[in-house]
Structure 1
């Protein structure tokens, strides 16, 4: 359960080092890119990226980055725009406390606020992967794959 009331905060000069210090459990490192790569991607894809620190009790406990209204696959019709979870990193010392669930819920609420009707997420399948976590939050497999990752969708209506 949540040990303190969490919130999402923009990544700023004041919390940058703490955000970059977020490290997932070693057995998960092959499943998710480090935060610093996410921040570089956010810089390069600024029009679509929504990076946020997950903060609880005044401490950065994780990082989440959403993507907003982008075309998932360039071969698809440009009218099919998607939004969702791009990256989720909860620090190893803070896992199992509900912060990941909170972060996904906060992104889902932001997507609803922006008018999205579905939220997407991708994950690497396999042992120690997040599939049970995302399915437990209501995401379902689409049957698609993106870069070798499974694609999940959550209806927001």
Structure 2
């Protein structure tokens, strides 16, 4: 497995990545993520997830972004978006992508990684908990905020 940057040769395939129909309320489509990556170019870190030559998903991190308002001194990094194609879920690609995001944050000197998610039945809370994310008690735009201490093994 590896992460690759989005380029003219793979962006159209990236736009075709679709999660299962029961998950469409949990994560925005890749096209929205790429638009956000364009607008927030300094803070966005979008990547495609490949298994050999096969595109299996999309991940995007946010890096050192003000948390609540533009001049907020509380700057955070974490997982912004994770889309694993419906037919490829349950094969470790999501875990690989989250670990790669955490490694990138660590490499940039970060000590915590954040994620937000919809806390509903069938949602991603158990997945993130298995990866070491713990709810902070905060709610952002109706989503649970969770954090992972990157200094822990």
TM-score (norm 1): 0.94
Q: Quick one: distance in 2 between partners of 1:44 and 1:78?
A: 19
What is the rounded CA distance, in whole Å, between the counterparts of 1:37 and 1:71 in structure 2?
20
Q: Which structure has more RCO (C-alpha within 8 Å, separation ≥ 6)?
A: 1
Correspondence 1:40 to 2:11: no
Counterpart for residue 146 of structure 1: 140
- Of 108, 121, 124 in structure 2, the residue corresponding to residue 130 of structure 1 is 124
Structure 1: runs of 5+ lacking an equivalent: 1-5
Partner of residue 70, structure 1: 65
Q: Which residue of 1 aligns with 2:108?
A: 114
Q: What is the distance in 1 between the residues matched to 2:55 and 2:34?
A: 15
The structure 2 residue matched to 1:29, chosen from 24, 27, 33, is 24
Shift of 1:80: 1.6
Paired residues in the alignment total 151
Identify unmatched segments of 5+ residues in structure 2. none
Deviation at 1:78, TM superposition (A): 2.7
| CA deviation after TM superposition for structure 1 residue 17, in Å | 1.2
Q: Aligned partners of 1:139, 1:120: CA distance in 2, in Å?
A: 8
Deviation at 1:43, TM superposition (A): 0.4
Give the ranges of 4+ consecutive aligned residues of structure 1 lying more than 6 Å apart after TM superposition.
Answer: none
